[in-house]
Structures are given as structure tokens and as C-alpha cells.
């Protein structure tokens, strides 16, 4: 099949070329992010391959269908950037990579916790400048702390396993409880109870209308004073303005985010030579107790291999009219 890749980076090309050695599909790589204005690039292709910040809204999907696109292959797990109703209406199938490496994202969430807590990023810079002082580097033991997990799906469960290894007391909030988690000693509680009890909260639920701004002014107010919030799920699960207020008044003690509400204008780009027009992220960057990474939770060799293999498999299944086990409906 002829497949047009949007938002292509060097690592996408490297891994997809490596895993499509048999040359079943003709892969073309575009740097452009998908939106209504770039949709004409898909003309002459059978399928498109998208990442997290490509925008397949109704207008775009209408154009893709008019240009002959029959399949949207997401090379990610989340699908909040695709209008599924429009895809159905225009007879375009949507497939994704549901679980390329839950451990990759879970381990990144832990990296955010450890860095924020033990301030290794600051220590690294200090020591490079021959500053061996420990002043203001005090952290806290994770052992014995209460950690709350919102969403105990694949990533949430991988995260729980790590935190139990640290000797944390883990509680969770999800619409559905997982037997493996309960057997491991995780107690499911209400969202409010989780907010009240936790020293650290990590978000692992998808972005849905009901989880949009789940962390808002009211929820920050219910958190333990000075607690830590980690988000590796999707940016809009947190109301960023409310997070800034909570940081300013000390309610929120630490914030570690790998995702950001307005990330599509910033993340995955080198803007080091530009003026950043987004005052909200500029304010976030200015806090000493905020750590931001630009959506790199998934970014391990193992995950990139799995993403390429599963995406190419999804495309082949569609071409051969085999059942689409990874279809999003
Ligand atoms: P999953 O589908 O396995 O698990 C999601 C869990 O969230 C499920 O248990 C579900 O019941 C729960 N959930 C749904 N609605 C909820 C609600 N209202 N409140 C609480 N829990 C709710 O998904 P996953 O593979 O664990 O991925 C989780 C999210 O992580 C994805 O949706 C994606 O947004 C994000 N993600 C981020 C990266 C990254 O690089 N940072 C990479 C992959 C995925």
C-alpha cells in the first residue's frame, strides 16, 4: 500500500525503513503535521500514518476521503486526535498501536518523580561548575509514601509495579478495577479520596470528555498540601492555568509533565532560536519545582521497534482484508 507519514522525524524513518525490509508497502515521509491545510499531501496514497499531534478532525477527514485515503494508521496508543465519527461517516478505518511498551512510559513517569524529588538535574549542573554544595537539594524518601494512580490500564499497572518495589503504599482510581492490582495490594478508592490521601499522584487515564481538566481548581484544592503531580497521559487532563495557581499558592508542591495542553505548537520541534509565544509554558518553565519533558515517555528503542512492527502489521492486515485486531471504533 502507498502510505503517507505525517510529522515524520528521523527516528520514525529509521525504524519504519528497518522493519519494512520486505518492501510490502511504499512509505513516503512528510515533515508536515496533518491538519486541514496539509491534507492535500495525502493525494495519491491509500493510507496515512499519524502521530499524537496530527489533527484528523472532521474537515481534514473529509479531505482525506476525497483524496482516496481508506486507512488512518496511528503510530501511537492514544486516539483523541482523530474524529472517529467522521472517520466512520467517510468510511475510513482507524488502527493504532495499543501497547507498544507500557514500561517505557511508566519508567519515564518514575524518572520525573525521582528527578523532581532528588533534584539530580540541578546537582548535575552544579557539579559541572565545581559547586559541590548540597544546599536546597533536600529530597524525601519514596519508601512509605502514598502514591495514587489514576487509570490502572497497561501503563498505570506497570507504574504501580515499580512503585510497589520502592515500598510505596499504592492506591488507585479507575472506572474498572483490575484483579491483578487488587491481588498486588492496591486499594481502589474514589477520586476525591485519592486526592486527599496521596503524596504523589500519577495520571495514566486517556483524554476523554470526562477526563478533560480532571485536575482542575477544585481537585488541586483537595490534594494534600505540597503533594507531587505527574502527568504522562495527555496534556488536557490537567487544567494548566489551575496548576499554575496551585503552584503559586503552594498547594501543589511539584509538577512533572511529559504532556502539555498546547503541546502541538511546541513539542518535537527545536525552537531554541525562536521567541516562544506561549506565555503559559514560559510561566511553567520558570518554576523551580516543575519539570517538563516534551512527550518522550514512549521514546525507547524497544517501543520504537514495537510501534513500527505493529503499525506495518496493521497496514498489511487492512490490505489483505484480514480482521483488524487493533482497530479503533
Ligand atoms: P489503557 O487503555 O490500557 O488504560 C487506560 C485506563 O484508564 C483504563 O484502565 C481505563 O479504565 C482508565 N480510565 C478511563 N477513563 C477513566 C476515568 N474517567 N477515570 C479514571 N480512569 C479512567 O491505556 P494505556 O496504554 O495505559 O495508556 C494510558 C494513556 O497514556 C493513553 O491514553 C495515552 O494518552 C497516554 N500515553 C502517553 C505516552 C507518552 O509518551 N507520554 C505514550 C503512550 C500513551
Domain membership of residue 205 (yes or no) is yes
pLDDT tens digits for range 144-192: 999 999 999 999 999 999 999 999 999 999 999 999 999 999 999 999 9
Do 305 and 288 reside in the same domain of the chain? no
Confidence class of residue 132 from pLDDT cuts 50, 70 and 90? Answer: very high
Confidence class of residue 24 from pLDDT cuts 50, 70 and 90? Answer: confident
Do 191 and 84 reside in the same domain of the chain? no
Confidence class of residue 264 from pLDDT cuts 50, 70 and 90? Answer: confident
For 226: left if phi > 0, alpha if psi spans -120 to 50, otherwise beta; the answer is left
Report how far ligand 1's centroid is from the alpha carbon of 301 (Å).
21
Do 76 and 167 reside in the same domain of the chain? no
Which grid coordinates are listed for 239?
487544567
Spatial CA neighbour of 231 closest among 187, 284, 301: 284
In the annotation, is 180 catalytic? no
Residue nearest to atom 44 of ligand 1 (CA): 77
Domain count, the chain: 2
Q: Probe ligand 1: pick from 9, 75, 96, 155, max atoms within 8 Å of CB? A: 155
Ligand 1 atom with the smallest distance to the CA of 258 is: 41
Reported pTM: 0.92
DSSP per-residue string spanning 93-153: EEE--TTS-HHHHHHHHHHHHHHHHH-HHHHHHHHHTT----TT------TT-EEEEE--S
228: CB partners within 8 A, 6+ apart:
113, 116, 117, 199, 200, 201, 253, 254, 255, 256
Residue nearest to atom 36 of ligand 1 (CA): 233
Report how far ligand 1's centroid is from the alpha carbon of 104 (Å).
14
Do 191 and 221 reside in the same domain of the chain? yes
Mean pLDDT for all residues in the chain: 96
Do 86 and 127 reside in the same domain of the chain? no
> Does pLDDT of 22 surpass 90?
no
Residue 132: give the domain boundaries.
102-292
> Does pLDDT of 23 surpass 80?
no
Do 280 and 145 reside in the same domain of the chain? yes
Give 20 or 290, the one with higher predicted confidence: 290
Domain membership of residue 326 (yes or no) is no
Q: Probe ligand 1: pick from 206, 263, 296, 297, max atoms within 8 Å of CB? A: 206
Report how far ligand 1's centroid is from the alpha carbon of 107 (Å).
15
Half-sphere exposure of 27 (CA within 13 A, CB side): 26
Report how far ligand 1's centroid is from the alpha carbon of 275 (Å).
33
Domain membership of residue 33 (yes or no) is yes
Report how far ligand 1's centroid is from the alpha carbon of 127 (Å).
38
Q: What is the CATH number of the domain that holds 6?
A: 3.40.50.720
In the annotation, is 263 catalytic? yes
Do 93 and 241 reside in the same domain of the chain? no
Do 50 and 61 reside in the same domain of the chain? yes
Domain membership of residue 328 (yes or no) is no
Domain membership of residue 244 (yes or no) is yes
Do 278 and 153 reside in the same domain of the chain? yes
Residue 77 burial (10 A CB sphere; 0-12, 13-18, 19+): buried
Domain membership of residue 327 (yes or no) is no
Domain membership of residue 324 (yes or no) is no
| Contact between 324 and 86 (Cβ < 8 Å) | no
pLDDT tens digits for range 45-102: 999 999 999 999 999 999 999 999 999 999 998 899 999 999 999 999 999 999 889 9
In the annotation, is 169 catalytic? no
256 lines ligand 1 (CB under 6 A): no
CA 207 – CA 51 distance, rounded (Å): 15
| Contact between 201 and 195 (Cβ < 8 Å) | yes
> Does pLDDT of 119 surpass 80?
yes
258 lines ligand 1 (CB under 6 A): yes
Angle between helices 154-165 and 102-118 (to 10 degrees): 50
CA 31 – CA 288 distance, rounded (Å): 34
Residue 78 confidence (pLDDT): 86
Do 138 and 148 reside in the same domain of the chain? yes
Residue 96 confidence (pLDDT): 97
> Does pLDDT of 309 surpass 90?
yes
pLDDT tens digits for range 201-217: 999 999 999 999 999 99
Residue 100 confidence (pLDDT): 85
Amino acid at each position: 500500500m502507498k502510505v503517507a507519514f505525517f510529522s515524520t522525524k528521523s527516528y520514525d524513518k529509521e525504524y519504519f525503513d528497518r522493519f519494512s525490509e520486505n518492501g510490502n508497502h511504499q512509505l513516503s515521509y512528510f515533515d508536515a503535521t496533518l491538519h486541514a491545510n496539509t491534507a492535500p499531501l495525502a493525494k495519491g496514497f491509500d493510507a496515512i500514518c499519524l502521530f499524537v499531534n496530527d489533527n484528523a478532525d472532521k474537515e481534514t477527514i473529509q479531505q482525506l476521503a476525497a483524496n482516496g485515503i481508506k486507512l488512518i494508521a496511528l503510530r501511537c496508543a492514544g486516539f483523541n486526535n482523530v474524529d472517529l465519527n467522521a472517520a466512520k461517516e467517510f468510511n475510513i478505518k482507524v488502527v493504532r498501536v495499543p501497547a507498544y511498551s507500557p514500561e517505557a512510559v511508566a519508567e519515564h513517569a518514575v524518572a520525573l518523580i525521582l528527578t523532581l524529588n532528588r533534584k539530580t538535574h540541578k546537582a548535575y549542573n552544579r557539579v559541572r561548575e565545581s559547586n559541590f554544595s548540597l544546599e536546597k537539594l533536600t529530597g524525601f524518601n519514596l519508601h512509605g509514601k502514598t502514591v495514587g494512580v489514576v487509570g490502572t490500564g497497561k501503563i498505570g499497572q506497570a507504574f504501580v509495579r515499580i512503585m510497589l518495589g520502592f515500598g510505596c503504599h499504592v492506591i488507585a482510581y479507575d472506572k474498572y478495577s483490575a484483579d491483578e492490582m487488587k491481588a498486588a495490594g492496591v486499594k481502589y478508592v474514589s477520586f476525591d479520596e485519592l486526592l486527599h490521601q496521596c503524596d504523589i499522584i500519577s495520571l495514566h487515564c486517556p483524554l476523554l470528555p470526562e477526563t478533560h481538566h480532571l485536575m482542575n481548581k477544585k481537585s488541586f484544592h483537595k490534594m494534600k498540601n505540597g503533594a507531587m503531580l505527574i502527568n504522562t497521559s495527555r496534556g488536557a487532563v490537567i487544567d494548566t492555568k489551575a496548576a499554575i495557581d496551585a503552584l503559586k499558592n503552594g498547594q501543589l508542591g511539584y509538577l512533572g509533565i511529559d504532556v502539555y495542553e498546547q503541546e502541538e505548537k511546541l513539542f518535537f520541534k527545536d525552537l531554541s532560536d525562536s521567541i516562544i509565544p506561549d506565555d503559559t509554558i514560559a510561566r511553567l518553565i520558570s518554576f523551580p519545582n516543575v519539570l517538563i519533558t516534551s512527550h518522550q515517555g514512549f521514546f525507547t528503542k524497544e517501543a520504537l521497534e514495537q510501534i513500527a512492527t505493529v503499525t506495518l502489521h496493521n497496514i498489511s492486515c487492512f490490505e489483505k482484508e484480514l480482521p483488524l485486531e487493533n482497530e479503533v471504533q
